[in-house]
Structures are given as C-alpha cells and as structure tokens.
Amino acid sequence: MARYTMPTGGAFAEIPATPFYYYDLDLLRRTLESVTTEAGRYGYCVHYALKANVEPRILCEIQRAGLGADCVSGYEVACAVENGFPSEKIVFAGVGKSDREIERAIEAGIFAFNCESLEELEVIDALAAKLGRRVDIALRINPNVRPDTHEYISTGQAESKFGISYTEIDQALAKLHMLSHIRIVGLHFHIGSQIRNLASFAELAGRVNEIAAWFAAKGVEIEHLNMGGGLGIDYEDPDGEPIPDFAGYFRMFHENLRVEPGQTVHFELGRSIVAQCGELITRVLYTKTTAGGAKFAIVDAGMTELIRPALYGAHHRIENLTASDAAGLRPMEVYSIAGPICESSDVFARDIAFPETRRGDLLAIRSTGAYGSIMASNYNMRPLAPSYFGDR
C-alpha cells in the first residue's frame, strides 16, 4: 500500500506507530465557518467548550475563527489565555471552583463566572473584595429540562448537581443585593450534551423566557443569556453529516427565545465543533473466537485512548482501512472490537458486521475529536497517544 488515506480525507505516505489521533483541519475549518455563519445571522456569540479537546493546533483554528472560550477549570482558563483567546471572551463554569481557580480567573479579567450555588456567590464576592475588584457573574440556573440523551451527560434536571435550582432564584437575588463585589450580568443554562432532538432546546428557551421575565419583573437588568452547549452529532453516519445542523440549532433559539433590546445571547459548543474532525487510528493485534463462537479483533487502542464506549456505552463507527483498500476481497463477518486493557468494559463495539479482519489491519474509530484524547488516561501505565494533523 503506497499511501494510507484517512476516512476524513488526509493521507500518510507511511503510517506512524499506532494508536494515534488524526485530525482533519480542513473539516474543522469548514465546521467553524458554518457555526460562525449560522450564529452570525442572529448576532449570537459562540464560546468553544475547551473540555472537548485542547490540542493547540485545534485551539489556534478556533480562536482565529473568532470564538470565545468556555472553561470549567482554572487550568482551562489558563490554557485559553495561553492559546490566544481574549480574556473578555472567556466564561468560567464549574460546580466546584477552588479559591485559587477563582482568584486566577479574577486576575485574568474574564467575561463572566457562571456561578453554580448560593455559597459560591459569597466566596467569589469575598475573593473579589480581597483583590480589590468587582466581578461580573452569571447565575447558572438549573431549569429542570430533561433532554433526550444519556443520563451521565444530562445536567439540567432538578436532581442534578449542576446550577442553582430554579426554586432558589429569589434567595440568590436577595444574596446578590447584599454582596457588593459581584454584579449579576447574565443567566446561564446547560441542559446536557449529545442532544439531537432540537425540541429539547425549544423547551429550554421556553423555561429561559419564564426565568428571565421573573428577573425583569424584579428590576434586574440581564445583559446576556447563555444557553450552554449540547448540540449532538451523527455518530452512526459521520460522512453523511460531517458538519452538524448549526442552522437548525440556532434557528430553534431564534424562534423560541425572547431576547430583550441590548441583550446578547451566548452559546458554549464543544462536541459539535470538534467531534467529526477526529479519528482514532489503531492496529489489530490479534483475532480470536470464543467458545460460544463470537469473533474478537483485539486492537492496540483501548479505553485509555477512548473511554466513551466503556463509560457511556457510546457508539462510534469503526472502519477497517486495510480491508477497504483491498476492495471487495474480504467477506463480511460479525466481530466485537476490543482493546488491550485489563477491564471487561474495554470493548469499542460488540457484534458488528465487519469485513474479515486480520492481524496488522488498520482501523479508524470515527467521530473521536471531542471527548477522546482529552479523556485519555495512563491506566496500565500506557503513554498518551500522539496526534497528527491533516491540512489540505
């Protein structure tokens, strides 16, 4: 085989040692163009959720496209600043911000803290006072909307740990009146991730309208509404939908969210921006058949490189690149594709129709640009997989 072509389009003359991540920067740029165009129609501001992927080359493309940053730790705030995101476009959420993280973010002069509890309001106020600053905050309100997604990535339900309960907003407001070093400028919401049914966002917009009206009736001026992230991608058919439906997503908010004159609307998108441009490339180490007749292909990537299938039962499309090069010559069979880690959950796919697979075959695990490399671990003392970038 002279050239190895990745499913998203890049090519290698010689394949590097596996496993590794491959990112298609051309697809990332086209995705960024789509998200900025569609958000731009309504004057919406988009912040990239760094938690999805912090590869510097990816961050560079994203900040060049003009997006802000959404961070959930002091480390992410520092990373966003180092990678060129202007401080006034950085938002900082997180249910457990430490004092040190808060102080650093105050010093960096970020756009807003998304505050997640009544106690956090007091802590930020005290730390701002200590530093002689006045800090802008948004209240992250848990709106009790249940999106259609995995329970581990749902965040806006009454029983979830995130945000200030919508039943506590009067207490939050009373507290804000007493605290002189913080100023409420926004309302923040995030109901969950990998949400494909846009009706969940319409439901969110309806709840936000009610909550914003409550604040307006109390005479509180809300300068910005932050709708969080959560737009899902097509894991089944990444080539059918390489760029998510940003047009439909923003239109849903435009049609359902009431925006007062002078108010800005913000979003925090992670997965929908970077998931489809990444793939995890791995090699088959062994094949074997169980006593029950099930066939396994054991590959050199595992849950250490991509934990999503083990953690959420997530589905990623897997392709045998070697078999597809030898077009039509390999019969279809049924395989489970598993990693080398000493955990029974270290299985990427169970009983899928897959071409006959041999030791040495190269596989691509698709749609792994978001929550892939960033969630990697060193379990079993494995080193982190390197990243390569295709730039057509």
The bridge status of strand 4-5 relative to strand 278-289 is unpaired
Annotate each residue in 154-183 with x if it binds ligand LLP (CB under 6 A) or - if it does not, as one string.
-x----------------------------
Annotate each residue in 103-142 with x if it binds ligand LLP (CB under 6 A) or - if it does not, as one string.
----------------------------------------
Taking alpha carbons only, the member of 79, 64, 123 closest to residue 99 is: 123
Q: Looking at beta carbons only, is 271 or 283 nearer to ligand LLP? A: 271
End-to-end CA distance of the chain: 21
Q: Report if residue 91 touches ligand LLP, rule: CB under 6 A.
A: no
Q: Looking at beta carbons only, is 8 or 114 nearer to ligand LLP? A: 114
CB 244 within 8 A of CB 232: yes
Give the HSE-up count for residue 248: Cα atoms under 13 Å, Cβ half-sphere. 14
Q: Report if residue 67 touches ligand LLP, rule: CB under 6 A.
A: no
Taking alpha carbons only, the member of 271, 368, 90 closest to residue 82 is: 90
Annotate each residue in 199-228 with x if it binds ligand LLP (CB under 6 A) or - if it does not, as one string.
-----------------------------x
85/260 Cα distance (integer angstroms): 28
Q: How many residues does the chain have?
A: 392
Can you say how many angstroms the Cα of residue 110 is from the centroid of all Cα atoms in its chain? 20
Taking alpha carbons only, the member of 172, 114, 107 closest to residue 140 is: 114
Q: Report if residue 308 touches ligand LLP, rule: CB under 6 A.
A: yes
State in angstroms the smallest separation of the CB of 381 from ligand LLP.
23
- Select the span of 38-46, 57-65, 189-197, 323-331 touching ligand LLP (CB under 6 A): 189-197
Q: Report if residue 317 touches ligand LLP, rule: CB under 6 A.
A: no
Site for ligand LLP, rule CB under 6 A: 49, 51-52, 70, 93, 153, 155, 190, 193-194, 228-231, 268-272, 308, 312, 371
